[in-house]
Amino acid sequence: MSRPYSEKIRDQVFKRVYEHGEKVQHVSQDLNVSKSTIYSWLKENNEAAKNSKGKFIIRRLEEQLKTVSEDRKILIKAASIFARELK
């Protein structure tokens, strides 16, 4: 069974690996955390970041779609007004 680690330890791992570019093996030995645990944390963090970015992109695209749909409705109304004036 894996031993629980504090958020402080996880934060130290992320900071040292991502910000300082330290090797997982060195961080593992220094903080007494298994390499497999660190790799698992890094994988979870990467997946969470991807999901977060994906949700952001989807939200932005939905907003753009709404704007374009509203613009389309306005153009259709304007075209029908111009068509009536030409008759």
In a domain, 79, yes or no: yes
> Is 2 within a domain?
no
**pLDDT digit string, tens, across residues 2-53:** 678 999 999 999 999 999 999 999 999 999 999 999 999 999 988 888 888 8
Strand, helix or coil for residue 1: coil
Question: Looking at the domain assignment, is residue 43 inside a domain?
Answer: yes
Q: Which domain holds residue 17?
A: 7-86
Contacts 24+ apart (CB under 8 A), 37-42: 37/2, 37/5, 38/13, 41/10, 41/13, 41/14, 42/13, 42/14, 42/17
Distances (CA, A) of 34 to 14, 24, 26: 14, 9, 11
Would residue 1 count as lying in a domain?
Answer: no
Number of domains in the chain: 1
Q: How many CA atoms lie within 13 A of 60 on its CB side?
A: 6
Residue 78 maps to a domain: yes
Mean pLDDT of the 70-83 span: 95
Q: Above 70 in pLDDT, residue 1?
A: no
73-86 mean pLDDT: 92
With respect to residue 29, please indicate whether it lies within any of the assigned structural domains: yes
* 71 pLDDT higher than 90: yes
